[in-house]
Structure 1
Amino acid sequence: MTWNVWGRFGDRWLRRQRAIADTVRGQRPDFVVLQETWRSENQEQIALLGFELGMTPVFAPSRMPRGPDVQLGLGILSRFPLREVERHTLSTRTVALRAEIRLGTGSLHFITSCLDWEEDYQQERFAQATSLAALVTELKAGGDQVIVAGDLSTPPGRPELAPLFAVLDDCWQPHHGGVTYSSRNPWLGKGEWLENHRIDYILAADGLTRGSSRLTGFNEDHGRPPSDHYAVVTDVRVA
């Protein structure tokens, strides 16, 4: 499961926090990756969710815009013990967070990131996707399996994500549809260039069997979405 949870923006973030936890619990995922998850001086959203859901949490700060009195970053929740956690620099602006679990004689790596979202940052997104693809290739060369999930800030079919699609498969079938940044969402700023596109992805190595994919996070906040993005959930079977 991947979800950009919109930090602590908006005037209902406490209600949104409750709704985010309820949404994740309802999906019962083994792994969750979050973007724009927050950390304050005394609290960390991913740790609160991990405690409530019985999952291991990890957090990495990123260059994402700061929310009110908080640092935003990337988070991973896992139902399995983590063998290794590492923060990777993709560019001077953007990072990725990787968590590894043991898988037989090898490992399964979950990687999340939030690429640059500005419309005129195509070259930066391409460079970040290229760095991600190089990391994936290195891990796969060692015999490991890899899943990349996150807010890639780019609709399908644009050239920025070509390096990633060369080494991983898009789990969303068919590749069109599945809008995650929708004008139907009342939290969305109108007229944004990414509006009404799928910009949140789960990508998996070809050795993993993909099942169904679905969106969630529509109305759990008293009839409103808990975030300005919808969440993506994919069933992946590991041999």
Structure 2
Amino acid sequence: MTWNVWGRFGDRWLRRQRAIAETVRAQRPDFVALQETWHTWRQSQTELLGFELGMSPVFAPSRMPRDPDPDVRLGLGILSRFPLREVQQHRLSADTIALRAEIRLGEKSLHFVTSCLDWEEDHEAERRAQAGCLADLVRELRSNGDEVVVAGDFNTPPDRSELEPLLAVLDDCWQPRSAGRRHLDDGATYSSRNPYLGGRGEWLEDHRIDYILVNGGRPAQRSRLVGFDEDRGRPPSDHYAVVSDVRVS
């Protein structure tokens, strides 16, 4: 599962946080990748969710939109139902990282990686370079037969070129659905139907910009969007979450 949880933006972030926890609980994921998850010197959203859901939490700061509260830092989080063998940060650019959590699978490992690439429309070169660094990391991790899942907010639609380096080494779990109920099945994770969307006419509006990518040859059995109306009829974030069922060795 991957979800950009929109920090503490908006005027009802405490309610949204409860709805986020309930949404994740209902999906019962083995791993959750979080972007724009908040952290202060006293507490962390990732740790609070981990405690409530019975999952191991890790957090790392990375380049994100700035929270209005100077004491709040936004970054990346991972929740895992399995004990973590190793956690590491990998630098993709000056202030953007990928966060990696490793678990053992017999004699090999599974690496669950999350990141959030630059969101500005004119940062195509930066996103492509960051995707290239992620691709290099995937090649390194897979060199001894380990499994790799990369999940996150990549801030670009799948028909643009920025993700080409990463999609050359991993497969996109999302598969188009039937024409019925298009707004639920077309994969648009940043949707104009979401009342929290930052403003109409944004360049990413009504596109799929959140992804789960897996090793070639092991496609997801199914993928879906969640997080539509759990906050008293509203979505808990300005992004919808992506959930994929992935088969690994």
Q: TM class by shorter-chain length?
A: over 0.9
Structure 2 counterpart of 1:224: 234
Q: Per-residue displacement from partner, 1:92-132 (whole Å, max 9, x unpaired)?
A: 13111000000111100000000000000000000000000
Question: Matched residue of 2:163: which SS?
Answer: helix
Structure 1 counterpart of 2:160: 158
Q: Distance in 1 between matches of 2:163 and 2:216?
A: 17
Q: Distance in 1 between matches of 2:248 and 2:95?
A: 33
Per the TM alignment, residue 52 of structure 1 is displaced from its structure 2 partner at its CA by 0.3
1:198 matches 2:208: yes
Structure 1 counterpart of 2:57: 57
Q: Distance in 2 between matches of 1:27 and 1:187?
A: 22
1:4 matches 2:4: yes
Structure 2 counterpart of 1:179: 188
Structure 2 counterpart of 1:21: 21
Q: Distance in 2 between matches of 1:209 and 1:53?
A: 27
Trace 1:1-239 onto structure 2 (pairs within 5 A).
1-67=1-67, 68=69, 69-174=71-176, 177-189=186-198, 190-239=200-249
Code of the residue aligned with 1:184 in structure 2: it is R
TM-score under structure 1 length normalisation: 0.98
Per the TM alignment, residue 12 of structure 1 is displaced from its structure 2 partner at its CA by 0.2
Question: Matched residue of 1:22: which SS?
Answer: helix
Code of the residue aligned with 2:74 in structure 1: it is L
Q: Distance in 2 between matches of 1:47 and 1:208?
A: 31
Per the TM alignment, residue 197 of structure 1 is displaced from its structure 2 partner at its CA by 0.1
Give the number of aligned pairs: 239
Q: Distance in 1 between matches of 2:143 and 2:163?
A: 21
Does structure 2 retain, via aligned residues, the 8 Å contact 1:145–1:208? no
Does structure 2 retain, via aligned residues, the 8 Å contact 1:132–1:164? yes
Q: Distance in 1 between matches of 2:130 and 2:137?
A: 11
Higher mean C-alpha deviation, range 215-224 or range 202-211? 202-211
Question: Matched residue of 1:15: which SS?
Answer: helix
Q: Distance in 2 between matches of 1:182 and 1:65?
A: 19
Structure 1: runs of 5+ lacking an equivalent:
none
Structure 2: runs of 5+ lacking an equivalent:
178-184
Q: Distance in 2 between matches of 1:117 and 1:15?
A: 26
Does structure 2 retain, via aligned residues, the 8 Å contact 1:145–1:207? no
Alignment identity in percent? Answer: 74
Per the TM alignment, residue 231 of structure 1 is displaced from its structure 2 partner at its CA by 0.1
Per the TM alignment, residue 64 of structure 1 is displaced from its structure 2 partner at its CA by 1.1
Per the TM alignment, residue 16 of structure 1 is displaced from its structure 2 partner at its CA by 0.3
User: What is the root-mean-square deviation in Å for CA atoms of aligned residues?
Assistant: 1.2
Change (3 A) 1:122 1:88: same
Per the TM alignment, residue 63 of structure 1 is displaced from its structure 2 partner at its CA by 1.9
